[in-house]
Amino acid sequence: MGRGKIAIRRIENQTSRQVTFSKRRAGLLKKTHELSVLCDVQIGLIIFSSTGKMCEYCTEPWRMDQIIERYQKVTGTRIPEHDSREQIYNELTRMRKETSRLQRSMRGYTGEDLSSIPYEDLDQLEQQLEHSADKVRARKNQLLQQQLDNLRRKEQMLEEENSKMYHWIKENRAALDYQQAAIEVKPVEHHHQMLDQFPFFGEEGPNSVLQLSTIHPQLHPYGLQLTQPHLQDSSI
C-alpha cells in the first residue's frame, strides 16, 4: 500500500513548520551536493528561513560571489551598487541640524540667547516653563505631604506607647507604693527589736542605743548580795 499524498500548503503550526523545514533543508542540501558531484555541475543555493536565518551551499572550489557573477553575465543583469557615502553624508547633515535645534531649545529653557527667538516662540516657551514649574511644585508638594503623613504616623505611635505606659504605671502604683513603704519600715522595726532585748525595772526603757549605754546596771531584787569576807574578818 503506497503512501498517501500530502497537500502542499503552508503548515499553520509553528513548531511543526520549523521541524519540517529542518528536515527538508537537510535533504535538499544532501541532494544538491549529490547532484553537483555526480553530474559535475556548479550549483549555488541560498536559503532564508522564516526567521531570517540564511543557509547556503556552493559547489567547491567555487565561491558564492563567482556563481552570482556568472549568473549576471549569462542573464545580462547586474545588481545595482549603492554609493553609501551619499547616504552617510545625508544622515550626518540631518543629525547636525537636529543637534543644533536641540541646543537652541535648551538655551531657551535656561534663559540664554533669547535675542534670536521671536515673540510667538517666547510666548510658547513661557507657557512650557510655567507648565513645567507647576509639575515641579506638584511633585514637591506630594513629597512634603508624604513626609508629613509619616511624621503624623510616628506621632500617633508615640502617643499610643505613652498612653500604654501611663496605664501600666497607674495599675501598678499600689504595688510600687507598698514595696516602698515596706523598705522604709524595716529599719525602724529592727531598731525596736534591739531595744526590747534589754529589760529595765523601775523606769522606762531607753529610747535609743545611746541612752542604753549611759544607764548603770541594776541588780535584780531577788538576786544574791555580794559580801566582803576579808573586811568582816578585819573588823572582828
Cα gap 191→206, rounded to integer Å: 12
Least reliable range by pLDDT among 88-97, 142-151, 158-167, 201-210: 201-210
* Per-residue model confidence as pLDDT tens digits over 22-76: 899 999 999 999 999 999 899 999 999 888 888 899 998 888 888 888 888 888 8
Domain spans of the chain, in order of start = 14-75, 87-117
Maximum distance among all alpha carbons in the chain?
184
pLDDT score at 186: 57
Q: Domain 14-75, what architecture?
A: 3-Layer(aba) Sandwich (3.40)
Interval 14-28 mean pLDDT: 90
pLDDT score at 235: 44
**Per-residue b/e over 51-68, b at no fewer than 16 CB within 10 Å?**
eeeeeebbbeeeeeeebe
Nearest CA-CA partner of 36 in 59, 10, 62, 12: 59
pLDDT score at 38: 93
Q: Higher confidence at residue 129 or residue 204?
A: 129
Q: Is the full-model pTM beyond 0.85?
A: no
8: how many CB neighbours lie within 10 A of its CB? 5
pLDDT at 202 > cutoff 60: no
pLDDT score at 10: 87
* Per-residue model confidence as pLDDT tens digits over 112-154: 777 777 778 778 878 888 888 889 999 999 999 999 999 999 9
Residue identified by cell 572550489 is 61
Nearest CA-CA partner of 193 in 181, 178, 180, 205: 205
Interval 198-215 mean pLDDT: 48
- Phi/psi at 61 (nearest 5 deg)? -95, 25
* Per-residue model confidence as pLDDT tens digits over 162-191: 998 888 888 887 777 777 777 766 555 555
